Structure 1
Amino acid sequence: MKFWTVIMCLICFVFAKAQETKISYDFGLLRQNDRITMNRDKVKGFYPGFKQMQLGEKTSLSFGGSYRFQTETFINEQFSSEEDQNDIWFLNRFQLYSHLKVSDIFELFTELNSSLITSKANLAPVDRDELSFNQLFARYHFNDHWNVLIGRQNIRLGSGRLVDVREGPNVRLSFDMAQLEFQDEKTKVTGFYAVPVQLEGGVFDNDVLNFDKILAALYWTQNWSASNNTDIYLLYKEEKNKTWDSGTADDNRLSIGLRHFGSWKKFTYNNEFVYQTGSFGNQNIRAWTASFNIEHPFRLLGENAAIGLKTEGISGDASNTDSTLNTFDGLYPRGAYFGRVARFGPSNLIDIHPYINTQLGNFSLSLDYVAFWRFSKRDGVYSPPLRLEYPSINGEHFIGNQIGTITGLEVNAFFNLELETNLIIPSNFLVNSGLDDTLFHTVITAEFKF
């Protein structure tokens, strides 16, 4: 009870001071990208001074953080009413950061994380991390265009389809990495060598620089015009003892990708193609994916809204007895790839995904439908972490139908609420695998940033 009293007092205090000082707060998904605008001659009070302190004419030190509370519930989590049901569990995530900037030349960013969970029996690695450094990096700017970064970082490449922050689960994805970056008004080129942090769940006990997995990247973003942009990239991943439906072996693969995004007339689009080559044990890798997303705005109740369609083809293995593996590896995708229900991931999949989003004042509403098929009847179905969740034990294509809703309320710049619901109706593949009960899922999120 005392804890919640403190949280609510903080929310009320920060909101009151923000209104009083009229400071502009733009909190980023990655908190090193926070944008705070204030006139220091007019701003007074504890919070503005704490948020951004001037240590000299060209040196500043800022602090911030967040608290996210979630309550999540499933019914028939594995499409079976016969299994034990974990009715409801509670997730808490605390993050606190400091950001030192020296003369636009050097910056040091530190972010602590504590992700806790209660009432869940079978924990996943992404559910709990009692205390750790989520991010800890130093960046040196050679000039206005070139910088180098060394340390631990959350990263999102492009739209986050292959490498993302993993914001949906309780614990974010961190990489220990060395990175070189070039950027001007229209061009950004990033190259890095990274090792994903392996979670252990305790206090400062995560497995550091475990080279069982590595990721190297060269990623070029070009803004050709205000409405025409491309990403061209090479991503090389190594993973020891990877399990696909065809077996377990070392997986070494190169992803060659092209993303084209922008707008045309009133339409916005985001299309991406990736081809993968490499080796899986003694097999050659030949895999691919194509993703298309188009969206058009319209007016609903006098407010902005959009209707869109996403569709993907993601290759699966054509045969588990030949010398070629065709299963696409989604690398490090967001944990909530098709919503926080997170049943299916980006391997061996075809999906059609129409949706509607709208904004009504401080409320946001979205409704979507997804139909899932297996790309190959000889390959299984994988979860978002790309673990084999449902092996190929029958010859059916159609996996099921998913209906989802998200209702959000942005109370102010600091505090927001969200309710997400999902329903998945199993179809031929799951039913013939003995999983024939409809899955129900709900998650309530309250997040406070400062």
Structure 2
Amino acid sequence: MLCLLLALWTGTAHAQGIEAWQPPTLTTVRYDEDWHRLADPQERTGRWTERFKYVPLDENATYLVTGLELRARNENYRANLWGGAQAPDDGFLWLRALPYADLHAGAVRAFVQPVAAYTIGVAPSASPIDRTGIDLLQGFADIRIGAGRTGDADALGLTIRAGRELLSLGNERLVGTRYGPNVPLAFDGVRAIVSLPGAVVSILDKRPVRQGLDDLDDRSDRRRRLSGLYATIPHGAGEIDLYWLRYRNSAATFADGAGRETRHSIGARLGGAAGDWHWDAEGVFQHGRLGTSRIRAWTGSVELGRRFPDASLSPDALVRVSVISGDRRAGDGRLGTFNALFPRGKYFGELSPIGPANLVTVTPRVTLVIAEPLTVALAATGYWRHAIADGIYAIPGNLIRAAGNSRVRSIGQELEASFSWQASPELEVSGAVSAFAAGAFLRATGPHRTVGLLALETNFRF
């Protein structure tokens, strides 16, 4: 109701003749948004959000940025996990509020974002991705040394940041915010952001936050730790990412063993656009140890798309192919299962019952502009096992179906249709319908009903 009232309010303001202002692109982390240009009265348009996005506190460039997200999402499942879930036919409502305040005082900054996340109707019971009550999602302080602003690849500078923050690295294949589910994933620790002429490098040492179901009970996960380097190099058509990440887990579990895991991920990503073409390619090699076993795993993903702006409905068509390694032989002292660490939520789409491990996927997708604020996307994905000795995993990395005696690779096929309607600059209404038909592997190893999903969402944020 509040989202609808705010939409009516903003819609009325627009109808009265206030020219729409194009703010910085809103991000899932929020702290990367740059609103300082509103200090100049000539840059203001009179839009109602500007009073919240730049609040001067003195005459020395001390200012406050505030914002809010209110999201309601309804998901309805039929035969979840192909009928093998504890509550295979389930419907529930996710509710969350994410206000934030961002204080800038010269080179010093403090960012605070609480979260209120609740759920109604999850069966058999809510998990930490469904609810966390009222807690601190982000809270950090940083100091900038040198010229420019944090993340500016055109000036030499250093930002030291300590506290709790969301992390979004590259395309979020290895480290993401888990924005799709109800409770995002944050990290505690320190990060140094080095701005160089032509590059930005993050040096980090973090622990993921383990969410509790009650108020003010989120804590650092002492079992897991993430550290490393992540460099982004802008170029004319896009950006190049180069990185090394070290991950440690004192209680890891895979189909081929369990124990203390130390894993190094060395990767590169190339993303960009030129003319009507756009692309994203990434490759990662992993090595390390799980107990006494050696780790040798890898992944490669290529996405190529083209827009047709002059055609009817302005279609944007793409094809994505991913190969993600699995373990080829159990008990051989070598683990080949790829670990996606902390990937984005809803990894392969709105349904995404399978996570990025031991997979080969092919996804054609087309996005259509029905009217300027309304888009519709149609996608199909085929799933196969990379290694027949290994099973399939959920997005968090837990095994959801063991290989058994099956020698087939086909896991299944998924069809999805989704829409997004930008009702106002602040209010988005979206939805999806998906179906995942079981392939030969699922039919041979357990429950294999067709999974269905219907999801509807309203998201108001500024």
How far did residue 125 of structure 1 move? 2.1
> Is 1:376 aligned to 2:379, yes or no?
no
Where does 1:39-438 land on structure 2 (aligned, <5 Å)?
A: 40=41, 48-57=50-59, 58-80=61-83, 84-103=87-106, 105-122=107-124, 123-144=126-147, 145-184=157-196, 186-208=198-220, 210-223=221-234, 225-227=235-237, 229-263=239-273, 266-299=276-309, 302-360=312-370, 361-393=372-404, 394-438=406-450
Alignment CA distance shift 1:183-1:359 (3 Å): farther
CA RMSD after TM alignment = 2.1
1:267, distance to aligned residue in structure 2 (A): 2.7
Cα shift readout 1:49-74 (whole Å, capped 9, x = no counterpart): 34421012311012111100000001
Residue 5 of structure 2 is aligned to residue 9 of structure 1: yes
2:214 & 2:102 partners in 1: Cα distance?
25
The aligned length equals 443
Label 1:395 to 1:201 Cα distance change in 2 as closer, same or farther (>3 A).
Answer: same
The C-alpha deviation readout for 1:368-417, integer Å capped at 9, x for no partner, is 11100011111110011111111111222100000111111001110010
**Whole-Å separation in 1 of the counterparts to 2:3 and 2:308:** 39
State the 1:83 CA deviation: 6.4
Question: TM-score if structure 2 supplies the norm length?
Answer: 0.91
Q: Distance in 2 between matches of 1:82 and 1:154?
A: 30
1:30 maps to what in 2?
29
* Alpha-carbon distance in 2 for matches of 1:282, 1:95: 43
Q: Which amino acid aligns with 1:61?
A: L
Consecutive unaligned residues of structure 2, counting only runs of 5 or more, are: 148-156
Q: CA deviation at 1:17?
A: 4.8
Superposed displacement of residue 265, structure 1: 6.2
Take 1:424 and 1:300, find their aligned partners in 2: how far apart are those partners? 34
- What stretches of structure 1 of length at least 5 have no aligned partner? none
CA distance in 2: counterparts of 1:317 and 1:265, whole angstroms: 41
Does the CA contact (< 8 Å) of 1:218 and 1:235 recur in 2? yes
Residue 255 (structure 1) shift: 0.3
Deviations 1:84-129 (A, max 9, x none): 44431100010110110112x1111100101110111133321111
* Distance in 2, Cα, partners of 1:220 & 1:445: 34
For 2:160 and 2:86, the matched residues in 1 are separated by 51
Q: CA contact under 8 A between 1:86 and 1:121: conserved in structure 2?
A: no
What is the DSSP-based 3-state SS (H/G/I as helix, E as strand, rest coil) of the residue aligned with 2:180?
coil
Q: Which amino acid aligns with 2:120?
A: T
Residue 158 of structure 1: SS of its match in structure 2? coil
Q: How far apart, in 2, do the equivalents of 1:83 and 1:52 lie?
A: 48
Name the counterpart of 2:152: none
Distance 2:411 2:141 in 1: 46
- Paired with 1:82 and 1:108, the residues of 2 have a C-alpha distance of 43
CA distance in 2, matches of 1:138, 1:15: 36
Contact 2:269-2:281 within 8 A present in 1 as well:
yes
Match of 2:153 in 1: none
Q: Is the 8 A contact 2:20 2:47 kept in 1?
A: no
Q: 1:349 to 1:47 in 2, by over 3 A?
A: closer
Q: Counterpart of 1:94 in structure 2: which amino acid?
A: A
Q: Give the Cα–Cα distance (whole angstroms) in 2 for the partners of residues 30 and 280 of structure 1.
A: 32
Distance 1:80 1:43 in 2: 54
**TM-score calculated relative to the size of structure 1:** 0.93
Deviation, 1:15, is: 4.5
- Tell me the distance in 2 between the aligned counterparts of 1:178 and 1:365: 40
Assess, with a 3 A threshold, how the Cα gap between structure 1 residues 174 and 300 changes in structure 2: closer, same or farther: same
**1:300: Cα distance to partner?**
6.7
Distance across 2 between alignment mates of 1:120 and 1:259: 37
TM-superposed CA distance for 1:259, in Å, is: 1.1
Contact 2:18–2:47, Cα closer than 8 Å, also in 1: no
Distance 2:100 2:276 in 1: 40
Question: What SS does the aligned partner of 1:79 have?
Answer: helix
Q: In the aligned structure 2, how far is the partner of 1:381 from the partner of 1:81?
A: 14
Check whether the contact 2:276–2:308 (CA below 8 A) recurs between aligned residues.
no
1:45–1:156: structure 2 CA closer, same or farther, 3 Å change rule? closer
Partner of 1:20: 18
% identical equivalent positions: 24
Q: Which residue identity does 2:376 align to in structure 1? A: L
